[in-house]
Chain A
Amino acid sequence: MKRMDLVRSAAGAIIAHPMRSALTSLGVVIGVAAVVIMTSIGLGAQQRVMGAISGLGSNLIIISPSASRSGFVAQAAGTDISITGADAEALAKQLDGVVAVAPSVRGQAQLAAEGTNWNSRIEGVTPDYLIARDLSIGQGRMFDDREARQGRTVAVIGTTVARELFGEADPLGKRIRVGGSPFQVVGVLTPKGQSGFGQDQDDIVLGPLGAVRSRVVGRRVKGDAVQTIYLKTASEKDLDRVQEDATNLLRERHRIREGQDDDFQAQNMASILKASEAATQTFTILLAAVAAVSLVVGGVGIMNIMLVAVTERTREIGLRMAVGAKRADILAQFALESVALSLAGGVIGLLIGVIGTVILAKLAGWPIAIASWAAPLALGFSVLVGLVFGAYPSWRAAQLDPIEALRRE
């Protein structure tokens, strides 16, 4: 039996019962639409998290204090700040393949200038911070190492802070009060926009580490302590080695014995990316799996209707056999019918899925990305569902005895 004749016969059988065919396909429509929408949501979340993490800076190792233990009681991470500016200097001196070492303290502070005020994030940093975090100066200059060491009260501000405090006026050379202490603005950062986590990256004030620590965040960060040390390596392949060297060096400096927990944690962007990629992938797969259940339910619906069709058309099957249809022809006819039902559902489901994804993105503002493989996957799956669930009814049809089949009323 020729391919075109098979297709025509399948189409004819489906069109003969339009309502029944539509309802049968509905299960697959819903299943495929659900798979498309769910994977799109998952993928969107994944892309957003990835963007957020890589927005922190490339080739970056972040060292932060970790939870310490007093006796058996674990304290919250960062309760006792264990890493210091001296650690940062040691890391800068002794590690190979490091481009920038940037210790940092941070806090939230009330800013005031020229009669207006604003609340913003303030970070006490060294000039290397710009390199570590892939930032640049748009206007003016960065404070230098000498200013930083001397504890000069100069500041570089983000464009949001500049706009809120000075409007259209030139902020360079102006004085701002940060939590009560006066700082002079020497530069404005190039705007970076929102981070992947939804934070305005331009709403920030950078000041010299020493000055910010003593004047702004001093109550929480004592002595030479810092909250974070950013290490930037020359290339991505150095990340693991540098991280290991840094860990060893800090353990030595902090006199941590073999077998004892570190009092700091070092993470590199690659491993954070990998971990969160794995997490969001699991999330996506989970969503898709839930949606796939409805696809299976749709398949059962197809099997049900195909069994009904085989029973209804027993005499037709017998007649076809009598005039020369081989068992394989009958098998192919019913299998194709089942695949056509399922595939039609898949195509409609794909359309609904794509439209639904776009509407969801618009209405709910969810991060959504339709995977390039969504279409082939959805259509492939619907063909597979048609084949798997059409197999048994088709086999039943092909196994009929023509004499019995012709006699059936």
Chain B
Amino acid sequence: MIAVQDLFKIYTMGGEPLAALDGVSLSFDRGAYLSVTGPSGSGKSTLMNVLGGLDRPTRGTYTFEGEDVSGLDDDQLAHFRNQRIGFVFQSFQLLARQTALQNVELPMIYAGVSPKDREDRAIQMLGKVGLSERIHHRPTQLSGGQQQRVAIARALANSPDLLLADEPTGALDSATGKDVLALFETLNREGLTVIVVTHDASVAARAKRQIGFEDGRIVLDKVLRP
């Protein structure tokens, strides 16, 4: 189970405290598929950063499969991100100088996986997202949808427990966006926990549970499908 309890994230803006997270509690089980919606500045990105181990809450607890994540230091958080979390970004965040294969290998380099195992695993993951024919292409030689699938393969490289996708379809046309969402659904059916942050109501509607944010608080928590 993954759970956050009474989460606060308070920034000081021009001397005024500003709560990006204002007492957020949320829990979900392995295999959940959540969408998080809300206007810009509502705190949904901050929640994603805390869940992804990129940021620490000002107050509150975060437990991940029984592990207290809120007490980890920088290096422990790096390890946590490496092993537990797969990130998918709106702008893909692929390294332009490297091939699809090398991009997918990146998290495994930091995990200390041997070059041979890394390559095998990366080829396997690229196959899973349907890019077996493109493993030696560089990002600039791939379409947006293909780039996002490379990014998803990268996110899956170290077999994470939680896939965090921040506007994954935001830079894609609606057809390729649907392909990406279909891929998420497949992965979710295989047991991966998925959280998608989005503005897009149609994207949010494809999740099994929808969380709505406003002013740092959860204002909507609706189960869409079992």
Contact = CB atoms under 8 A, between A and B. Distances in A.
B74 A319 contact: no
B74 A323 contact: no
A324 B79 contact: yes
B110 A322 contact: no
B54 A329 contact: no
B111 interface: yes
Interface stretch (B82-90, B119-127, B187-195, B211-219): B82-90
A16 B107 contact: no
Interface in B46-68: 49, 52, 54-55
Contacts of A13: 97
Given A2-B112, A403-B54, A325 B93 contact: no
B106 interface: yes
B69 to A, nearest CB: 15
Q: How large is the interface on A (under 10, 10 to 19, 20 to 34, 35 or more residues)?
A: 20 to 34
Contacts of A254: none
B93 A324 contact: no
A308 interface: no
Contacts, number: 62
A329 B49 contact: no
Contacts of B109: 1-2, 5
Given A315-B93, A322-B54, A323-B154, A329 B110 contact: yes
A327 B106 contact: no
A316 interface: yes
Contact of A325 (B49, B52, B89, B110): B110
Given A12-B97, A403-B55, A406-B89, A327 B110 contact: no
B97 A322 contact: no
Nearest to B151: A319
A321 B111 CA distance: 12
A321 B75 CA distance: 10
Interface string A384-409: 00000000000000000011001000
Given A2-B112, A324-B110, A319 B95 contact: yes
Contacts of B205: none
Contacts of B74: 326-327
A402 B112 CA distance: 21
A2 B111 CA distance: 9
B93 A319 contact: yes
A209 to B, nearest CB: 84
B78 A326 contact: yes
B81 interface: yes
Contacts of A220: none
Secondary structure call for the B interface: helix
A368 B98 CA distance: 48
Contact of B106 (A2, A323, A328): A323
Contacts of A1: 109-110, 112
Nearest to B118: A5
Interface string A359-388: 000000000000000000000000000000
B81 A324 contact: yes
Nearest to B109: A5
B54 A326 contact: no
Contacts of A321: 54, 78, 81
Nearest to B48: A403
A406 B151 CA distance: 14
A326 to B, nearest CB: 4
A322 B81 contact: yes
B44 to A, nearest CB: 14
A328 B110 CA distance: 11
B161 to A, nearest CB: 14
B87 A323 contact: yes
B110 to A, nearest CB: 4
A322 B48 CA distance: 12
A316 B95 contact: yes
A20 to B, nearest CB: 14
A403 B78 CA distance: 13
B55 A325 contact: no
Interface string A278-309: 00000000000000000000000000000000
Contacts of B89: 406
Interface string A86-110: 0000000000000000000000000
B107 to A, nearest CB: 4
Contacts of B112: 1-2
A402 B87 CA distance: 13
A12 B110 CA distance: 17
Contacts of A4: 115
Nearest to B92: A319
Nearest to A318: B93
Contacts of A2: 109, 112
Interface of A: 1-2, 4-5, 12-13, 16, 315-316, 318-329, 402-403, 406
Given A2-B112, A12-B97, A320-B106, 10 more contacts: A12-B98, A316-B95, A324-B79, A324-B81, A324-B82, A324-B107, A324-B110, A326-B79, A327-B78, A329-B110
